[in-house]
Amino acid sequence: MQLMMNYIWNIIYAILGRLSPKTLVSLHYRRSRGTFLKWKNPQSLDEKINWLKFYGDTSRWPELADKYRVREYVAKCGFEKMLVPLIGKWDKATDIEWDKLPNQFVMKTNHGSGDALICKDKQSLDTVFWTAEFARLLDSKFGRSMGEPHYDKIIPCIIAEQLLDNTKQRIKSTSLVDYKIWSFDGKPAYIWACYNRTKESCVVGVYDLDWNFHPEYSVSLPHYILANQPLPRPYSLDSMLDAASRLSKGFPEIRVDFYEVDGKPYFGEMTFTASAGFNSFYTSEFQNILGRLIKL
């Protein structure tokens, strides 16, 4: 019965995502939070993120949420050295020149999330499967699933970047440590760090700008597991904060993500609608703390 209900809700969401994204957001907020989203007087982080989707100035969102085009913006802001080296870019999956790629790389679409191919040994890669998979991903409408219309305005492409070495970090982690900096019109405020990431889960924690650990701001969930101890402060935190400050200037709210390998910071991406505006892993207190920092 539950599987049937989930199937029906997925159909409803798919229809609303195409015809009325705002209605989709309202419905999902009511189902997931048990309360109505206050469109006329948003207060929390998630309420304001969703308000910005439909009433804010989103004119630059498609450019900067685009994992390929944002590279030009990062370079113009003076942080070209933080960009992960680009290996290739293709508009069609059938254009990918697999034989010319290095043995290790990361490949992803510019308009999706969580679809990266992390290749550590090209010789064992099923290129026929991945060609078909990236053709499917190029045709997908990522933004429609959770009411994020700006993603539909991104011209899809595929990019490949250098694979960063996750063994050269301050801690042992199965993945790169992702330092996600919440920033508000040029003012970084908090860092959400994620590591030991798999498809099933990742370990997370909130830190302030002095790298004090705040477990009281997180809700531990099956996928987002609260860390039981703080991470060491990244060597390049000051550089990351400087970059986040300059990159976020002019935007009421944005999350700027970074990695650190061998003490060097690398830019990850810019996200205007983190978790599509449904950051269920934060407490109500932290939702309101971040919400107060967003000036609509």
Please state, in angstroms and rounded to a whole number, the distance separating the CA atoms of residues 17 and 25: 9
Residue 226 lies in a domain: yes
Question: CA-CA distance, 231 to 254, in Å (whole number)?
Answer: 23
pLDDT at 199 over 90: no
Q: Can you list the alpha helix ranges (DSSP code H) found in 20-60? A: 21-33, 45-55
Secondary structure, 3-state, 252-271: CCEEEEEEEECCEEEEEEEE
As given in the structure block, the two tokens for residue 77 are 């802001």
Question: Do residue 249 and residue 277 come from a single domain?
Answer: yes
The pLDDT value recorded for residue 94 is 97
The predicted-structure confidence for 35-80, as pLDDT tens digits, reads as follows 999 999 999 999 999 999 999 999 999 999 999 999 999 999 999 9
Are residues 211 and 175 part of one domain? yes
> Total domain count for the chain?
3
Residue 62 inside a domain? The answer is no
Question: In one letter, which amino acid is 76?
Answer: K
Task: Please check the confidence at residue 275 and state whether its pLDDT lies above 70.
Answer: yes
131 and 157 fall within a common domain: yes
**Stretch 9-14: mean pLDDT:** 76
Helix (H, G, I), strand (E, B) or coil at 288: helix
283 and 230 both lie in a single domain: yes
The domain boundary, picked from 161, 180, 202, lies at: 161
pTM of the entire structure? 0.95
State mean pLDDT over 222-237: 97
Mean pLDDT of 169-182: 96
Domain that holds residue 32: 2-55
pLDDT (average), residues 93-117: 95
Same domain, 174 and 154: no
272 and 178, same structural domain? yes
Q: Does residue 241 register a pLDDT over 70?
A: yes
**Quick one: 156 and 173 in the same domain?**
no
Is 210 contained in some domain? Answer: yes
Q: What is the pLDDT of residue 256?
A: 98
| Residue 185 shares a structural domain with residue 240 | yes
Share of the chain above pLDDT 90, in %: 88
Instruction: Tell me which H or E stretch contains 159.
Output: strand 158-161
**Per-residue model confidence as pLDDT tens digits over 109-145:** 999 988 899 999 999 999 999 999 999 999 998 888 8
The upper half-sphere exposure of residue 265, i.e. CA atoms within 13 Å in the direction of its Cβ, equals: 23
241 with 179, same domain: the answer is yes
Of 127, 161, 195, which residue is a domain's last? 161
Contacts of 200 (CB under 8 A, 6+ apart): 223
Is residue 72 in some structural domain? no
Q: pLDDT-derived band of residue 281, with 50, 70 and 90 as boundaries?
A: very high
CATH code of 224's domain: 3.30.470
Residue 250 falls within a domain, yes or no? yes
75 occurs within a structural domain: no
Q: Give every CB contact of residue 78 below 8 A, 6+ residues apart in sequence.
A: 246
**Residue 74 domain-assigned (yes or no):** no
Q: Which of 41, 53, 46, 5 is nearest to 29 (CA)?
A: 46
Task: Tell how far CA 111 is from the center of its chain.
Answer: 11
> CA 52 to CA 57: how far, in whole Å?
7
Q: Are 157 and 173 within one domain? A: no
In the chain, % of residues over pLDDT 70: 97
Residue 120 lies in a domain: yes
**What is d(CA 15, CA 288) in angstroms, rounded to the nearest whole number?**
31
Cα separation, 258 vs 176, whole angstroms: 10
Both 176 and 260 in a single domain?
yes
pLDDT of residue 12 exceeding 90, the answer is: no
Ordered alpha helix ranges (H), 108-191: 127-139
Domain stop point among 161, 185, 204: 161
Average of per-residue pLDDT across 231-242: 98
Residues 237 and 177 in one domain: yes
